[in-house]
Amino acid sequence: MNDGLNIDLHTHSSCSDGSLSPAELVARAAAAGVQVLALTDHDTVAGLEEAQRAAGERGLQLVPGVEISASWRAQAIHVLGLWIDPVSPPLCASLRAQADLRRARMREMCARLTKLRLPGAELLATVQAVPGVPTRTHLADALVAGGHVDTVDAAFRKYLGKGKRAHVAPAWPAVAVVVGWICAAGGVAAIAHPHRYALSAGARRRLLGDFAAAGGTVLEVVSGGNSAQHIDTCATLAVNFGLQGSVGSDFHSPHAWNPLGRSLKLPECVTPVWRNFGL
């Protein structure tokens, strides 16, 4: 626990690729003892109003958040915006552009699946029928539902993972641009799950240098499922780059491995981001 606070600053709802509605997510978090919860859907703030209402009913503090897809030297990087103003007009306009990129990318990935003799048009229609921003998770689900692969994991391994035959890397905006959007919406920017990028230790340090120079102030030091060694490495990076620390499960579904709010203890050497917000 973090000074007695049960806090989870990275979760998803069905407004992106989570399986629970925002209200269901908040109910589950409350039942798990979470006191402070950020909803951080991929490139959308559509779930925040419902989550805020549900949080009010359950006495849980909701942190308005978003997980924005960005790029740094051809690598996709996820930047969390926390304590953002969800109705900030420039942020909302930027997220509409992100959604357009996602829809165009989905059409392209389905075209590639057609070339691989899969029913791309049908798969596209299935994904388009799902409300919210389309993600690779939705396409993986459609591939499973159509009987083309046995599991979501197989869909990523065979078709949708980075470098696989139907993978399309969109031209996401640069990390520095995305940090600017978040700061302009009154939020703080955090690099999500830093251990998950295919970067050398040196490149990781350069990423953090560029991120901090652009106004990024936070590193997600504890992310669902990362090892004690990852946490140590990230804590050292946060201290060395003068970044505050965040903790988040990256919860998507009750059936996945990362439960809400549990085992998310920030090492004491790192200043918690929630200190800025009176927590």
Name the site residues for ligand AMP (rule: CB under 6 A). Answer: 17, 42, 69, 135-137, 152-153, 156, 161, 252
Closest distance of CB 220 from ligand AMP, Å: 14
Say if CB 251 and CB 19 are below 8 A apart.
no
> Which does residue 11 touch among Mn ion, ligand AMP, none (CB within 5 to 8 A, set by kind)?
none
Q: Closest distance between Mn ion and the C-beta of residue 105, in Å?
A: 15
Nearer to Mn ion, 8 or 250 (CB): 250
Among candidate residues 106, 115, 110, the one with its CA nearest the CA of residue 170 = 106
Tell me the C-alpha distance between 234 and 195, whole Å: 8
Which entry of ligand AMP, Mn ion, none binds 153, CB below 5 to 8 A by partner kind?
ligand AMP
Q: Which does 220 bind (CB under 5 to 8 A by kind): ligand AMP, Mn ion, none?
A: none
Contact 81, 187 (CB under 8 A): yes
Of 22 and 272, which has the nearer Cβ to ligand AMP? 22
| Residues at the site binding Mn ion, with contacts judged by CB under 5 A | 17, 67, 78, 192, 250
Q: Which is nearer to ligand AMP, 47 or 272 (CB)?
A: 47
Residues 60 and 255: their CA atoms lie apart, in Å, by 23
Q: What is the CB neighbour count within 10 angstroms for residue 118?
A: 18
Q: How far is the CB of 19 from Mn ion (least distance, A)?
A: 11
Q: Which is nearer to ligand AMP, 17 or 60 (CB)?
A: 17
Helix (H) or strand (E) holding 220: strand 218-223
Distance in Å, CB of 58 to ligand AMP, minimum: 26
Q: Which residues contact 80 (CB under 8 A, 6 or more apart)?
A: 9, 10, 38, 40, 65, 66, 67, 68, 189, 190, 191, 192, 218, 220, 246, 248
Q: C-alpha distances in angstroms, 259 versus 34, 107, 118, 253?
A: 11, 33, 34, 8
Q: How far is the CB of 193 from Mn ion (least distance, A)?
A: 6
Task: Please state the closest distance from residue 146 (CB atom) to ligand AMP, in A.
Answer: 17
Which CB sits closer to ligand AMP, 126 or 135?
Answer: 135
Q: Which residue in the shown chain puts its C-beta closest to Mn ion?
A: 78
Residue 219 in contact with residue 190, Cβ under 8 Å?
A: yes
Question: Among residues 83 and 159, whose Cβ is nearest to ligand AMP?
Answer: 159
Of residues 19 and 35, the one with the C-beta less far from ligand AMP:
19
Contact 217, 275 (CB under 8 A): no
The one of ligand AMP, Mn ion, none whose footprint includes residue 28, by CB under 5 to 8 A per kind, is none
When CB distances are held under 5 to 8 angstroms depending on the partner's kind, the choice from ligand AMP, Mn ion, none that residue 249 binds is none
Q: Give the three-state DSSP class for 176.
A: helix
